[in-house]
Amino acid sequence: MFNNLKSKIKRKMKKFILTMLLALTAVFSVNAQTQSNYSGSSKFTDNVSAGVVGGVETNLNQWNWPQGAVAGIVINKEITPVFGVTLEGNTNINGLSNWSKPVTHFHCANTFDGISTYLTGRVNLTNAIWKYNGKPRKFEVEANAGPGYGFLLHNEYNALLVKAGLNLNYNVTDAWTIALRPAVVYDLSGTGSFNTERAIGQVTAGIVYHFKTSNGTRFFNKAKLYDQAEVDMLNGKINTLQKSLNDANATIEVMHDSLTKTNTLIETNEVTKMVYPKVQFKKGTAKIESTSMANIYDIADALKDVDGTIKVTGYASTEGSTRYNKELSLKRAVAVKNALIKAGVDASKIKTIGAGPVNKFSPDNLDLNRIVTTEK
């Protein structure tokens, strides 16, 4: 008889282990498919939480609360914001004589009557109905169901179990969740149709801690997904903008070169039209005063190595006749030319002009209009 019991336990354990392996394979597969949809899901260890639970239980055929207590640990893995799995291990305390016939009172001979473990799948009904908004809501409802295995210590009774229930979660912070967990555990080892004598009702509460993910948070971050048509369209826009940028840069280069040449020309013209010292004359004369000879020498030194024509222009004030002042302005220009030649400037470079009477240099002070200017 003992050998038959061992053989029976062995067969059921094989079934349970196979079920667990198939479920874990599905978890890995779905997790890999989820990585592209959410950040914080790239590692299998992302979106993992763990906690402790405790509560009471009773046989559904005998509503005599409580007939026993239950305590355990849970390890949760979120695959998506909607789907997840839980590995749960429990111990039954002072309650069950076997999975189908609980004792009639709370205390019995053994403090720890049995152990059970479950691998359940979870569906976050809140996110499934109202969609995940990028962060867990304060209150969420989950449905869960999955296979399990139970073993009673005092009578060596073992059973293949199935568990289904709800998780009523209150997310205190991103890291901590308090959960109320009503559930039903059913013994599949019996024969015949569903029988409440093989069903146990549990109400447990627990606290769960959420570990940080690879994105630095403790939950999924939504990733914006693009189809290939959108990607192609965006790439086309990028290429168009890049071409426009290249064209603009080419235009800027052309404008820069043109501006450089213009600036060089302006600078050259400014050098050519540089205002050399003026030579001042007294009223009615074309004689260069000794005080103006310093300016003559400065002009000569500046023009000795200059190529091209040097324009020497004489002016007169507006007193007297225009004809007289015209002749006087030319005489003044010739006087400066001769002085520059004596100072070493090539005579062939110098062109003299008599501009006549003007008041453009100073309408109020006529003396400032009796001058000779030199320009390149």
Q: Where are the domains of the chain?
A: 2-222, 279-375
How far, in whole angstroms, is CA 192 from its chain's centroid? Answer: 60
pLDDT tens digits, the chain, 376 residues: what are they? Answer: 445 544 544 454 455 555 555 554 554 444 444 444 555 556 778 889 999 999 998 877 766 666 788 999 999 999 889 999 999 999 887 655 444 444 333 334 456 678 889 999 999 999 999 988 888 899 999 999 999 988 877 667 788 889 999 999 999 999 999 999 999 998 887 666 677 777 888 999 999 999 998 878 888 876 666 677 877 888 888 888 888 888 888 888 877 766 665 555 455 544 445 667 888 888 888 888 888 888 888 888 888 777 788 889 999 888 888 888 889 889 999 999 899 888 888 888 888 998 888 887 877 777 788 888 888 7
How far, in whole angstroms, is CA 316 from its chain's centroid? Answer: 75
Query: CA-CA distance, 147 to 21, in Å (whole number)?
Result: 12
pTM: 0.50
Q: Cβ atoms within 10 A of the Cβ of 142, count?
A: 23
* Three-class DSSP category at 74: strand
Query: CA-CA distance, 246 to 234, in Å (whole number)?
Result: 18
Query: CA-CA distance, 13 to 96, in Å (whole number)?
Result: 21
Half-sphere exposure of 176 (CA within 13 A, CB side): 6
Task: Check if the beta carbon of residue 375 is closer than 8 Å to that of residue 349.
Answer: no
Q: Check if 2-222 and 279-375 are the same fold.
A: no
Tokens of 171: 């997310």
Options 2.40.50.100, 1.20.120.80, 2.40.160.20, 3.40.710.10; CATH for 2-222 is 2.40.160.20
> What residues have CB less than 8 Å from 293, skipping those under 6 apart?
339
Query: CA-CA distance, 302 to 295, in Å (whole number)?
Result: 11
Bridge partners for 56 per DSSP: 69, 203
Options 3.40.309.10, 3.10.20.30, 3.40.50.1820, 3.30.1330.60; CATH for 279-375 is 3.30.1330.60
Task: Check if the beta carbon of residue 184 is closer than 8 Å to that of residue 165.
Answer: yes
Task: Check if the beta carbon of residue 372 is closer than 8 Å to that of residue 314.
Answer: yes
Read off the pLDDT of residues 107-161 as tens digits, 9 standing for 90 and up.
Answer: 344 566 788 899 999 999 999 999 888 888 999 999 999 999 888 776 677 888 8
Q: Phi/psi zone of residue 286: left (φ > 0), alpha (ψ -120 to 50 degrees), beta?
A: alpha
Task: Check if the beta carbon of residue 187 is closer than 8 Å to that of residue 99.
Answer: yes
Tokens of 84: 């997840």
